[in-house]
């Protein structure tokens, strides 16, 4: 489907086949359209907290000849029954917003979550780790000059404590071009934080964490 960019293609590939899927914050409706047309999903639902995006999605679905996507006006998954959300996609939002949507989900222990934050990926990784979610797969994808993380996670109840580097880069490594670019960008952000904190003399705890993150990432690169 031509309307899908590279990031949405990767997200779609992460959706387990044969399950009911809910796209939270659907915006234009292209992802649910592609999932429906693939024939690989039991059912496809799309939600948004605002009426206008759902109207846009409805128009695009009609234009593409897609009839089997259910559109629901709601906050996150609040009005979506669990049987329609065996897999949940939440993309195009900040990590703190995504964390809140998962946290408010009444059946958050059940679905496969496919997540792609625009900002605050470290915040999201920390939330997942501290709330019993395992990130089973994570890749980086480059689109329109920006680099995003896409992750597949499931609840297993195990509480995890991430290292400073794990918060920043998750399961990404230097083995592919997009992953290496993502890590390079994070290193640049970390180095700027270190410079600013050393200059200000404040937040020594945060300074130490950034220094540890930098060293851990550099060691990973060497290894």
Model pLDDT for residues 161-204, shown as the tens digit of each residue: 999 999 999 999 898 999 999 999 999 999 999 998 888 887 88
DSSP string, 55-123: HHHHHHHHHTT---EEEEESSTTTTS-GGG-SEEEEESSBHHHHHHHHHH-TTTTSSEEEEE-SB-HHH
What average pLDDT does the segment 12-21 reach?
96
Confidence of residue 48 (pLDDT cuts 50, 70, 90): very high
DSSP string, 155-202: E--------HHHHHHTT--TTSHHHHHHHHHHHHHHHHHHHHHHHHT-
Model pLDDT for residues 52-79, shown as the tens digit of each residue: 999 999 999 999 999 999 999 999 999 9
pLDDT score, position 203: 81
3-state secondary structure of 11: helix
What average pLDDT does the segment 71-91 reach?
97
Q: What homologous superfamily does CATH list for 6-162?
A: Vaccinia Virus protein VP39 (3.40.50.150)
CA distance 58 to 46: 10
Q: Please, are residues 61 and 69 in contact by the beta-carbon 8 Å criterion?
A: yes
Q: Please, are residues 113 and 105 in contact by the beta-carbon 8 Å criterion?
A: no
Q: How many residues are given for the chain?
A: 223
Confidence of residue 111 (pLDDT cuts 50, 70, 90): very high
CA distance 54 to 61: 10
With a cut of 70, say whether residue 223 has pLDDT above it: no
The domain ranges of the chain are 6-162, 177-222
Q: Please, are residues 147 and 186 in contact by the beta-carbon 8 Å criterion?
A: no
3-state secondary structure of 158: coil
**Among 89, 90, 84, 1, which residue's Cα sits nearest to residue 43?**
84
CA angle 12, 151, 92 (to 5 degrees): 70
Model pLDDT for residues 117-168, shown as the tens digit of each residue: 999 999 999 999 999 999 999 999 999 999 999 999 999 999 999 999 999 9
pTM (predicted TM-score): 0.94
């Amino acid at each position: 489907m031509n309307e899908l960019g590279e990031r949405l293609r990767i997200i779609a590939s992460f959706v387990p086949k044969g399950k009911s899927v809910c796209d939270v914050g659907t915006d234009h409706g292209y992802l649910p359209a592609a999932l429906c047309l693939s024939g690989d999903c039991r059912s496809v639902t799309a939600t948004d907290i605002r009426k206008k995006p759902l109207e846009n999605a409805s128009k695009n679905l009609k234009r593409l000849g897609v009839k089997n996507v259910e559109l629901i006006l709601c906050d996150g998954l609040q009005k979506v029954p669990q049987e329609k959300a065996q897999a949940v996609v939440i993309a195009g939002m900040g990590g703190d917003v995504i964390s809140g949507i998962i946290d408010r989900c009444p059946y958050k222990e059940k679905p496969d979550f496919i997540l792609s934050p625009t900002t605050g990926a470290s915040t999201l990784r920390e939330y997942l780790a501290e709330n019993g979610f395992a990130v089973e797969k994570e890749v980086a994808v480059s689109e329109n000059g920006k680099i995003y993380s896409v992750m597949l996670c499931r609840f297993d109840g195990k509480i995890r404590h991430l290292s400073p580097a794990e918060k920043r880069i998750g399961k990404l490594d230097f083995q592919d071009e997009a992953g290496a670019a993502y890590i390079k960008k994070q290193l640049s952000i970390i180095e700027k934080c270190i410079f600013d904190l050393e200059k200000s003399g404040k937040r020594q705890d945060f300074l130490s964490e950034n220094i540890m993150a930098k060293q851990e990432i550099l060691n990973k690169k060497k290894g």
